[in-house]
Structure 1
Amino acid sequence: MPTTPPDTDGSNVDSVYQALLQGVGHEFVTEANVQALIQRAEADRHPVLAAELREWQAPCG
């Protein structure tokens, strides 16, 4: 099972994004960075990642 690289910087959007591209790092997605991550995924043509981030952002209930 893949694990988040230990050098992932949760306060750095680029670092979190690179981890997400590897299928890990979801624990670093926050209200503060989710919109920037969605925009980056869309710009880089990663529609599945963008959709997953939108789902994370959506209110539950």
Structure 2
Amino acid sequence: MKLHIANMTCGGCARGVTATIQDVDPNAKVDIDLDSKIVTVDSSASVDQLVAALNEDGFPPEVQ
């Protein structure tokens, strides 16, 4: 799945987003493109689970 996270602006944000996703699914593969603010996730967790966790941690995503 691809997520656009508009307020992800730095490496610290990228690490926070990765940590949030891996809290939901420790085996998730996360690829982040900071320039486009796109996060590509390969996870067994549902989109709804990941969106809820990212919203809770202050990184509201838009599903692409």
Could you tell me the TM-score, scaled by structure 2's length? 0.36
- Which is higher, the Rg of structure 1 or of structure 2? 1
**Which has a greater percent of strand?**
2
**Which has a greater percent of helix?**
1
